[in-house]
Amino acid sequence: MTHDPEAAWPLTQPEPGYFPGSGPAPVPPQAMAAYTPAPVPMPVTRAPATPHGVRIAYLAIILGVSIPLTAIALSEAGLIGLIIVWAGIVLVAGLAFGTSARRS
């Protein structure tokens, strides 16, 4: 059995316009009216709220670091060292919780 590709091809006579240059030229579409899209408002983006698990982790880290820092500051620099260390701890806690605590 031989395979005849011409017999298997469904288009034995091409339709007019099937090949470029054959048949009449296509009719141009009607002129469309000018389209101006409506302005789209920008979506309001908000920072995601800090989950409570992350806040507890921050507190655990701050507490875990503050206890040894307090002992080191008292033994090495006395009361002045203690004040400086706790000012830093309060500053770090304020940065960690300052913006997210107001939004919740």
The amino acid that residue 6 corresponds to is E
3-state helix vs strand vs coil in the chain, percent to 5: 55, 0, 45
pTM of the shown model: 0.45
Q: Residue 40's pLDDT is what? A: 80
Q: How confident is the model at residue 101 (pLDDT cuts 50, 70, 90)?
A: very low
Q: Which tens digit of pLDDT belongs to each residue from 26-50?
A: 555 665 566 677 888 878 777 777 6
Can you give the pLDDT at residue 76?
93
Per-domain boundaries in the chain: 50-97
Mean per-residue pLDDT, 18-27: 58
**What burial letters (b/e) apply to 34-59, b meaning 16+ CB within 10 Å?**
eeeeeeeeeeeeeeeebeeeeeeebe
Quick one: 82 exposed, middle or buried, by C-beta within 10 A (0-12, 13-18, 19+)? middle
